[in-house]
Amino acid sequence: MIELKEKSFTAASYSVAAVLISFGGVLGRVGPLELLIMGFIEIIGYSLNEQVVYDRLGIFDAGGSTAIHTFGAYFGIAASLVLGDAVKPQAKAHSNYNSNIFGMIGTLFLWMFWPSFNSGFFPEHPYEKSLIITNTILSLTGSCLGTFIMTALLRHKFEMEDILNASLAGGVMIGTASGILVNPGTALCIGVFAGIISTLGFRYLQGKLENWIGLNDTCGINNLHGIPGILGGIIGAVIIASYGSTPLSNASQISYLPFYPQASTNLNSFGRTFYQQAGCQLAGVCISMGLGIAFGVLAGYLMRIVYAFKAE
């Protein structure tokens, strides 16, 4: 029996978020049919990844830095690489005043609702929910600071591409750590770091990857979701490891002990130390990236076949 409740719809919306991230890697190159195939394959891959990293591995990933952003970004990147020169962009992507205005409206909405996104699985845990919201707001604020500083230094002006994207990187990078981090200064620093890294990616890395390996990353998902997602998972593992070698089952004095409602059991029941849990967190990052690439390759080949069939 399929049980429909608030948590089910929340989980479904998170899976859609991963698909939307992946779409950013192929927009402008394929049509609705190819996108439908891509979305169908990705939902299957995302569901498998969610079962592995949350229920089996038991990682804590409140905002989805690992399971949503890392998986979604590298699924889209793998699909884009497989499409390659066989499906080239119809025109060079460029922005104008009107598109920037609409883009800024979208960025503002994302900025405002990102704390709700990261805390969506904690409706019955007010302390964790408050902690996640606070850390996410601070990290987003930091990424705005880092983005504006870096884009002014690198481009000698405020570049809209950087501001519309990299200013959100703090919400991605703080995702895993948002529910286990109690130092507000650290959350702000993570956000600044995210803004700097993402801006550098848009300024230097994206063009180089296009020249080196032919990656047409239309929306720069590697810079906004991929790299910040991986670093967010690593930062979360480091924070958990910093709690020491105490077994989780004996650490009840830590009121913010990781508990992830998606998992079937509390992390205490795994019988791990914080060091062991940190290792599982890192494994979760690798698994999400690996499954994202594998399913992205599959989706890319299917889209390429359909595209070639339509062209005949």
DSSP string, 131-196: HHHHHHHHHHHHHHHHHHHHHHHHHSS--HHHHHHHTTHHHHHTTTGGGT---HHHHHHHHHHHHH
Q: What is the pLDDT at residue 116? A: 92
Helix, strand and coil in the chain, % to nearest 5: 75, 0, 25
Q: What is the pLDDT at residue 233? A: 96
Q: What is the pLDDT at residue 245? A: 61
Which residues of the chain are under the pLDDT cut of 50? 250-267
Q: What is the pLDDT at residue 281? A: 93
Q: What is the pLDDT at residue 159? A: 87
User: Which tens digit of pLDDT belongs to each residue from 118-154?
Assistant: 988 776 667 778 889 999 999 999 999 999 999 999 9
Q: What is the pLDDT at residue 260? A: 41
> What's the pTM value of the predicted model, to 2 decimals?
0.91
**Residue 55: which residues within 8 A CB-CB, separation 6 or more?**
262, 263, 264
SS3 for 49-104 is HHHHHHHHCCCCCCCCHHHHHHHHHHHHHHHHHHHHHHCCCCCCCCCCHHHHHHHH
Could you tell me the domains of the chain? 7-311 (1.10.3430.10)
Q: What is the pLDDT at residue 85? A: 76
